[in-house]
A and B are shown apart, each in its own frame.
Chain A
Amino acid sequence: MTSGSFAQGSVCWAERVRALPWGCLAKPQDDGQDLRAVQFLLANTTSPGRPSVHVRQTPVGRLRVGIVYDRAELATAGLAGHVDAADDDPRIAAGLALLRRWPEGRAMARELLEVLHPALEPDLQPGGATLAIRSSSHSSEDRFGSLWATINSPIGLAQAVVHELAHHKLRALGVAEERACTVVANDATECRPSPLVAWPRPMTAVLHAQYALVHITALDVALLETARSSAERKALGRSFRCHAALLREGARTLRKYLVVDAVGVAFMRGLWDWMEQTVARGYRHAA
């Protein structure tokens, strides 16, 4: 699937992209080298879905909360019926605070997240089951660093943040949902089962779903390992097992059908090692 390439597509530029440490880019690294690679690509490349290089509008670590996505776009994404939330809703701070328990996830949010568009799912009663983990979220390639997410559940919001940042990161690495200029080499018309939706999707989208799920699962495991109560442990155990089952489905599809390029071999090895270690760690705590 090579519809398009990094816009600065000289041989020299292609060599610089190939020279990135692709084996270390899938997993959030404690030394931040994956984030540096993402920032390098954002500052120097464009794509059909991100026609300009990205320039961060807020200082690193400072999050702006506000309206980003319009109702028409959200409705197209299947997210009609939500209402915008107040930008000082305490559940936002509570959700973001949970990321401290996964340091690599927090670093990713600190470096990549710029704008949060908070929303509420009206059907979920406030003060109901506070540990009901539930979230809806959305982001788009042309608004790097921004995301829309429901905030009813703090854990759900934390999951939504790492979920959408995983999409942003993968897009910055050259893999959009419907096309890729690196890593994935399948034909864009080849559609296979996705672990996140009920209809077949291009292999780029299947990889996106798997990549987001690994991030959510890594957060589940980090929260499980630092659970503050038996109720929290129970809820996170359920969440982990659900996500681990979806990962198994996605893994089967990717192993069977994914075709990669040279850097994709290294990227997928790194992703697979991380996924397998994360799931094994999770089952030790979710038994």
Chain B
Amino acid sequence: MRLEPREASSLLLGRGSFLPSATCRAIVDEVMARAWWQRSEIGEAGASSVDMDTCNSLWCWLEGRYRQLVMTRLAVLAKAMGSLPGRPRLEEPIVLRYDRGGLFRRHNDEYERADHTRGRRMSLVVFLTSQGEPGGHEGGELCFYVDDGRGETSIRFPGRAGEFVVFAARVDHEVLPVRRGPRLTLVSWLY
């Protein structure tokens, strides 16, 4: 796992390699063969709902042999990112799946009311599929909206299997429409 210099905006906190691409492929094969997928909801916990015009994706838990590997690497990453002292606190990672037409319109990951999300500081996205490669996805760029002092700038990450990006949970971002899927990512949040 290697952290590269921070992006121009201090809100995009790090990117680098999280998993070998072969491991990503194995995780993709595993979840596509064995996972039970749920439809993503938006809004505060307890008042969340499905709104496929805003967020059209599925999610599943990461289980079995790959969960432990991911948790170990997440703890290392959390420490490297300056997680609060003590045992790094992070949310159970989930796998997000965007099929053709999938998207998540501009939003941020900060929530106020739900206990389990209060205090989120950083969001982590690990790409499990690559854009534009055989077996990968088309479209589905992860797009950030940041203010660099001269106005709002958008920064797009097409995504490559194994690559991660960490960003402040308050940063506006979106997943642009997927033209060919599935686009799979692993996501978690650090505190």
- Residues of A at the B interface (CB closer than 8 Å) are 185, 255, 258-262, 264-265, 268-269
Chain A residue numbers with a CB within 8 Å of B37 are: 258-260
Q: Which B residues from 14 to 59 make CB contacts under 8 A with A?
A: 33-34, 36-39, 50, 58
Contact between A265 and B33, CB atoms less than 8 A apart: no
Q: Does B61 contact A (CB under 8 A)?
A: yes
A-B contact pairs, 25 of them (CB 8 A): A185-B38, A185-B39, A185-B50, A255-B33, A255-B34, A258-B36, A258-B37, A259-B37, A259-B38, A259-B39, A259-B58, A260-B36, A260-B37, A260-B38, A261-B38, A261-B39, A262-B38, A264-B36, A264-B38, A265-B36, A265-B38, A265-B60, A265-B61, A268-B36, A269-B36
Distance in Å: Cβ of B172 to nearest Cβ of chain A: 28
Residue of A nearest to B46 (CB): A11
**A262 vs B39: C-alpha distance in the bound complex, in angstroms?**
10
User: Least Cβ distance of A140 to chain B in Å?
Assistant: 29
Which chain B residues have a beta carbon within 8 Å of chain A's beta carbons?
33-34, 36-39, 50, 58, 60-61
Q: Which residues of A contact B60 (CB under 8 A)?
A: 265
Question: Complex Cα distance A258/B37, Å?
Answer: 7
For the complex formed, measure the closest distance between the CB of A146 and the CB atoms of chain B, giving whole angstroms. Answer: 32
A264 partner residues in chain B, CB cutoff 8 A? 36, 38
Q: How far is the CB of B167 from chain A (nearest CB, A)?
A: 28
Taking CB atoms, residues of chain A closer than 8 Å to B50 are 185
Query: Is chain A's interface secondary structure helix, strand, loop, or mixed overall?
Result: helix
B residues less than 8 Å from A258 (CB atoms)? 36-37
CB-defined contacts of B36 to chain A, threshold 8 Å: 258, 260, 264-265, 268-269
CA–CA, A215 and B58, complex, Å: 29
User: Considering residues A258, A259, A262, which has the most beta carbons from chain B within 10 angstroms of its beta carbon?
Assistant: A259
A260 to B36, CA, bound (A): 7
Least Cβ–Cβ distance between A200 and chain B, in angstroms: 18
* B38 CB contacts on chain A under 8 angstroms: 185, 259-262, 264-265
A265 to B35, CA, bound (A): 9
Bound form: Cα–Cα A264–B58 in Å: 14
Knowing that A185-B38, A255-B33, A265-B38 are A-B contacts, what are 4 other residue pairs whose CB atoms are under 8 Å apart, sorted by A's residue number?
A258-B36, A259-B39, A264-B38, A268-B36
Q: Which A residues touch B39, using CB under 8 A?
A: 185, 259, 261
Whole-angstrom distance from the CB of A272 to the nearest CB of chain B?
A: 8
Chain A residue with Cβ nearest B33: A255
Q: Which residues of B contact A262 (CB under 8 A)?
A: 38
Nearest first, the 7 closest Cβ-Cβ pairs linking A and B are A265-B36, A268-B36, A260-B36, A185-B39, A259-B37, A259-B39, A260-B38
Docked Cα-Cα span, A255 to B61, in Å, equals 15
Q: In the complex the two chains form, what is the Cα distance from A96 to B38 in whole Å?
A: 39
Query: Roughly how many angstroms separate A265 CA and B59 CA in the complex, as a whole number?
Result: 11
Cα distance A230–B89 in the bound complex, in angstroms:
62
Give Cα distance in the complex from A268 to B61, angstroms: 14
How far is it, in angstroms, between the C-alpha of A156 and the C-alpha of B94 when the chains are bound? Answer: 45
List the A side residues contacting B61 at CB < 8 Å. Answer: 265
Instruction: State the CA gap A259–B34 with chains docked (Å).
Output: 13
Most buried by A among B33, B34, B39, B50: B39
Min CB distance, B60 to chain A, in Å?
Answer: 8
- CB neighbours (8 Å) of B34 from chain A are 255
What is the minimal beta-carbon distance from B28 to any residue of chain A, in angstroms?
14
Complex Cα spacing A269 to B105, Å: 32
Q: Which residues of B contact A261 (CB under 8 A)?
A: 38-39
Distance in angstroms between the alpha carbons of A255 and B36 in the assembled complex: 7
Bound-state CA distance A259–B41 (Å) is: 13
Residue of B whose beta carbon sits closest to that of A266: B36
Most buried by B among A264, A265, A269: A265
Cα A259 to Cα B52 with chains together (Å)? 14
CA–CA, A265 and B95, complex, Å: 14
A282 to B61, CA, bound (A): 31
State the Cβ distance, A261 to closest chain B Cβ, in Å. Answer: 6
Q: How far is the CB of A227 from chain B (nearest CB, A)?
A: 33
Chain A residues closer than 8 Å to B33, beta-carbon distance: 255
User: In the bound complex, how far is the Cα of B155 from the Cα of A189, in angstroms?
Assistant: 37
